[in-house]
Structures are given as C-alpha cells and as structure tokens.
Amino acid sequence: MVYHRSRPRREIPANLTQLALGYQQVLDANPSQTEALVGMSLVALASHQNEAAVVLAKAAVAASPQIGITWITLGQVLKAEDRIGEAEWAYERALCIDGMDGLAQLGLGELRLSMGLPEASLAHYRLALRRQPAMAAAHLGIGHALASMNRHAEALAHCRQAHDLAPHMAECDFCLGFVLARLGHIDDAVAHYRIAIARRSDFAAAWMNLGVLLREQGKLHHAEAALARAVALRPESVDGWLNLALLLREQRRHPESEQVLRKAFALEPDHTHVLMAFCQLCLARNDLPGAWEWLRWAQARAPLHAEILNLHGILLHHERKPAEAAKIFRRAEELGSLSAASNRGNSLLDMGRLEESLRAHELAVLRNPESAGARYNLALTQLRIGDWANGWANYESRWRFREVHPSPLYFRCPRWRGEPLEGRRILLYAEQGLGDAIQFCRYTAMVAARGGEVILQVHPPVVRLMHSLGVVRTGLACVAQLGEEPPAFDLECPLMSLPAIFGTTVKTVPWSGPYLAAVADQVARHWQQAGADAGFRVGVAWAGNPNYKADKFRSMRLRTLTPLLRIPGVQWISLQKGAAAAQISVLPENLNLHDGASMDRDLADTAALIATLDLVITTDTSIAHLTGAMGKPVWIMLPYLSDWRWMQDLPATPWYPTATLFRQSSPGDWSPVLERIAARLTASAFTQCLPPMQKF
C-alpha cells in the first residue's frame, strides 16, 4: 500500500470567489496595496493557479519589500511550484527582516520536510513555536517530521496538541489518522480520516488513506469508493491510482487493475512502484515472462532499489529456484527491504533448511513486528517444527494478513478467549477450507464443556456431516450453515483459533476416537451395492480445490496413479469430486476405477462410502481429513513441502492416528511415493485375499 503524507497548510476560507472579488476591488483602487496582493496570491494558490500566485506574490514583494509577510507568501507559492531554491531564498529574506518570524520558520520547516530532511525541519518548527507557542501548524509539522522518522509515539503527542489548538482544522484529524494507523490503531485512524473528510470534502489525501485502511479491514466496497473519490479529486496522483490498482488486483479484477495502472503509467512511465505493480499483476495472472519483462524495466531504472530486488527474489522463488532467490533476498535485506527476510525464510524452507528458515522469519518479525505477513510465516514455521506454544499465538496474525483473509468477518459481540461461558451462546465458525472445518470441529465438545450453548457454523458441504458429532447429537451444540444468518449468540470464535485457546501441543491433540460418522442406512446401501465378494476396497482422490494457492504442488493428474491402479486384488473406488473427476472417463479400458463420489450431494454422502472401504489413498484434500476423522485407514500423499499441519519429515500425524504420510523426497516427483505405496498396497491386498486361518 502507499500512504499519502499530507503536509500542514494554512486554511483558506471556502468562498474563494467572494474573497477574490473583495481583494480585486481594493486592487482596482490601488494596484500596489500590499495586503490585497498577498491575499490574492493566497487565493490563487488555493485555487491551484500557481503561476498567477507567483506573479501576485512578486508584486507584493515589489510593493513592500520591507514587510516580511510578502517574502513568506512568495516562499509559499514558490514551494508549491517546486522551485525549492527560490522558495528557500524568499524565506531567508523574511528572516533578515525578523530573525524570529514564526511563519518564516514554519515555511522553512515545511520546505525541509518536502526535501526529505525531517531532522532539519524539526529545528525550524521548534523556532516557530518559540515565537508562537499556539501555532497548530508547527505542531503538525513536528508530528509529520517525527512520523517520517518512524517516531510515531512522539508524533502522536504533537498531533494531539495541534488538534487541541485547532480542533476544527481538517489537517489535524488527517495527521492523527496517519500516525494512529502507523501505531496499529486502525479503527481510530479511520474515524479521524472520516472527520477530516467531513470538514473538507475535497481532501484527496484523506480519501486515499481512508481507502487504504478500509482495504486492510476487508471493507472492499467502501475502500474502492474512497479510492475512486481520491483519484477523481487528484487525477495527477500516481499513489492514488496505484492503491486503486492494488485493490482491484487483490479482487482478481485483473483487466480493471491493468486499466488503472495504465493511467498511473501515463503520468510517470519511469515510476518504480508503477513498474513493480505491473510486475506483480503479471505474477497474479501467472504470466511469469511478462513479470520478468516489467521487472527488468524497473531494474534498469533503479538497480539497487531494495523492493525491486525483493521482487526479483519472488520471481525466482516462483520459478522454483529457491537457492538463487535466497541470495537475492539477502541482498534486498541489506538494502533495507523489511519483507525480504520473511521471503528468504520461505526459500530456505523450500530447500529443507528448516532451522535457517526459522531464524530468517524470527528476524523478519524483529525488524517489522507490525507485519502480519512476517508473523504469519513465522507461525507456520513454528507449527511445522512442533513449537505450537508460540506458533498458535502467532497464527492469530492471519486475521490481519490479506492473503489469508481478504475480507475478514467482523462481529459486534466479543471474541471468546476461553473464559467460562456460564450459559452464554457462542458461535464457532469455519473460516477457511472444508478440511480445516473437519480437522478443528473436534474442539466443539471442549467448548461446550465450558458451560455454554454452541452454534457450529460450517460450509454447506459439511453441514449434514457435522450432525454426526457427539456434541451435536446430545443437543449441546447445533449446526448452522455459512452464508445464512445463525441463531442469536453472545460470543464468537473461529474454529482455527481454538487450538491456541486450549493450549494444544503435539502431545495434547484432542483424540478420544473417531468423531465423525456416516448415516447407518446409507452405509448399508453401499454394502449392498458392493456385494458379498467385494474384495479389498480402496478409495482414491488425487486433486483438491484448484483455487487453493498451493494446489499445483499437492494435486496430480489421475494418470499419475496408473501404477497403483494396475495392482491386482484391489477394487478401486474414486472419491474424487469436481472437474478432476472427469479424468476417469479417459482411463485405459483395462483399468477398473469406479466413480463413487462425483455425484455426491455433500461429504455426508461421501462418508457413507468411505465407511465401506478398507483403505483410502489421497492427496492433501478434505477426503484425507474426513477419512481420518472417521478413524478409517488413510494414506496421504504429500508434496515435498507439505502444508504446515503435517509438520516435517514425520510418517504420522497426531491429528489422525489412522493416517500414514507418504512424502515426496524431491519437489514435484511423485514416483518414489507411488513406489512405496505400491509395495505396501500389494502386501496389504495379498493379506486381505488369504483364506481365514483355521483354528485348532
């Protein structure tokens, strides 16, 4: 995101036309009247007629060079024209007349700040306050300067002082919003930006920063409206177009995002952030060649730009070149990129260098503790290595990390933190995928044991399945469907926050036995269809939700499983759902795979079929979680870098005692996994087919 740091300015009355007419009447009578010339210059400046403002200010100086305000006005209008050297000279002339002139010192402070010299600006602002202690603009200037130096707590104090001195000045609320946002007080910052806009509806910078914060809160419709208003007010603002493009890109509205970026590009074709935004848009479209083209353009203009180097590393990471990416990320860190350390940690993890990865993520959080992305990556690494005490706590950062929750849910009632419920009703809700809901619904009984009524809100495909939970069958919890209004409740908690609340460790994962089951009469029907000599029945699923970010690593094509499907003595039943189930129709005729689940209504139907199987073999999908939750044997095929919940290098998981994990030994290579499964499956099928032992 790009925040706009608006600088203090003097308030101009709203009715500029009436004011200008009054000054003009004076000038008609006396063209050299100093006060009228100064006033007309400031009106022209407020009306964005900068050239006219300079002419009028120079006329005021010519009329009264001995009056300091004429030079201060000239400095102000020259600064607006970015004529920095001339503006500085004008302010210095004012100080020659009065060395302690507060307005001249204020002007020089603003000038130094605009030049990127916040430390130097502080001295001028403080001199201004020595002459005029109640000058709100000087306090604002100090606030902006301190914020530029990341001294936000100190900045907040000066912004509050400015607000006390000038409570109706829109700029004071803007400054408070800016600093509060940097301190992480987003709701308060939003409130102050709204006040600033209410005081001055054409405050483009406030509209833009409000849009940025609303986007962070997941209020995308309102964020888009605010950003659209910002660029309508200031179509020359590259930052405004960039923020709007980012919002559209995150909503996967790629054509619109590109159209907006083109407007920013037309304003500044060599703007590094515009070039990087085009690179990121190509990456979001999976257009790596296009991303590289934009990156090289950016590198040609700023070869040592820390974030361009960071983006270079990201592209290498996407090309599955983690060693090269890690080196680039290291260089980006050295040049000041705050996100490069976390990215380096991800590349090290891809190389299997877990301890180094952990240290990189810890460093990223140390350098930028407010970064939700850095803390989230640290959490996943901690959970992977079994440091669940710290991992679950850091995992709560996912609510501020837009890649996980683009539009997080907000409730008026408080979040449950584990306290006794004392009869209150609590909403537990699924926040991510179907597998996550199945994995963490086991905590429902533990929540009910705290003395309350539980409402379990889940995705439609698992609503019927959740009625098999013991806590639901006994009436201590009810089931609701996501997307529909649940019964009234007093507290709320997402399912995936429950392990943190209950202090779950690797040794205390809740498991007293299978906790999900199929409907008995449905199971009986499947047994009837299978027949008395069904043989060794194995269910199989090979692909997950294609919208999942890492699906290309965990899913495979059905033809990859051909070596397994040729093993004799096995009756194969497909548990695959979605578009991937169509791959069954193109199997060779000599391979027998029965489509058992593609037409299921939901996972309750699938559970009835799984109940009749001897074994399920699947990639990391909801089928793996369902089979494990039912206590049925499940062999889970995992990519080289699997999801954090399966931890690292372990053949089993504490979440599902009946599960066996088969991991890739090198990225993308399923062959060794299938060879190990084939050997074990052949032995299992052979044993299953032996006649029963005779008792003597």
Q: What is the pLDDT of residue 287?
A: 96
- Alpha helix ranges (H) inside 115-219: 118-131, 136-148, 152-165, 170-182, 186-199, 204-216
DSSP 27: H
Cα separation of 501 and 56, whole Å?
67
State the average pLDDT over residues 73-102: 87
Q: Is 454 exposed, middle or buried (0-12, 13-18, 19+ CB in 10 A)?
A: buried
Between 430 and 591, the more confident residue is 430
The count of residues in the chain is: 696
Query: With 80 as the cut, is the pLDDT of residue 696 above it?
Result: no
Q: What is the pLDDT of residue 45?
A: 86
Query: With 90 as the cut, is the pLDDT of residue 22 above it?
Result: no
- Report the chain's mean pLDDT, rounded to a whole number: 91
Secondary structure element (H or E) that encloses residue 426, with its range: strand 425-429
Place of tokens 């070869």: 303
Q: What is the pLDDT of residue 372?
A: 92
Q: What is the pLDDT of residue 75?
A: 86
The SS3 of residue 619 is strand
Q: What is the pLDDT of residue 533?
A: 65
Q: With bands split at pLDDT 50, 70 and 90, how would you rate the model's confidence at 15?
A: low
In 10 A of CB 259, how many CB atoms?
12
Q: What is the pLDDT of residue 549?
A: 83
Tokens found for residue 457: 């809100």
Q: What is the pLDDT of residue 289?
A: 97
Query: With 60 as the cut, is the pLDDT of residue 144 above it?
Result: yes
Query: With 90 as the cut, is the pLDDT of residue 363 above it?
Result: yes
Judged by average pLDDT, the poorest of 16-20, 82-86, 125-129 is 16-20
Tokens found for residue 696: 């003597």
Cα separation of 472 and 429, whole Å?
15
Q: What is the pLDDT of residue 693?
A: 34
Q: What is the pLDDT of residue 437?
A: 97
Query: With 50 as the cut, is the pLDDT of residue 691 above it?
Result: no
Domain 304-400 has CATH 1.25.40.10: yes
* Ranges of each domain in the chain: 304-400, 425-501, 520-689
Output the CA–CA distances (angstroms, integers) from residue 312 to 135, 147, 232, 271, 326, in the order listed: 47, 29, 33, 17, 10
Q: What is the pLDDT of residue 685?
A: 63
Q: The whole model's pTM is what?
A: 0.83
Q: Tens digit of pLDDT for each residue in 520-554? A: 999 999 888 877 666 899 999 999 988 888 888 99
Tokens found for residue 603: 């996972």
Give the whole-number percent of the chain exceeding pLDDT 70: 96
State the average pLDDT over residues 302-327: 96
Q: Tens digit of pLDDT for each residue in 431-469? A: 999 999 999 999 999 999 999 999 999 999 999 999 999
Between 685 and 85, the more confident residue is 85
Q: What is the pLDDT of residue 38?
A: 87
Secondary structure element (H or E) that encloses residue 470, with its range: helix 470-473
Read off the amino acid at residue 46.
A
Q: Tens digit of pLDDT for each residue in 194-209? A: 999 999 999 999 999 9
Query: With 50 as the cut, is the pLDDT of residue 103 above it?
Result: yes
Q: Are 216 and 246 in contact (CB under 8 A)?
A: no
Q: Is 137 exposed, middle or buried (0-12, 13-18, 19+ CB in 10 A)?
A: buried
Domain 520-689 has CATH 3.40.50.2000: yes
Q: What is the pLDDT of residue 534?
A: 67
Cα separation of 71 and 65, whole Å?
7
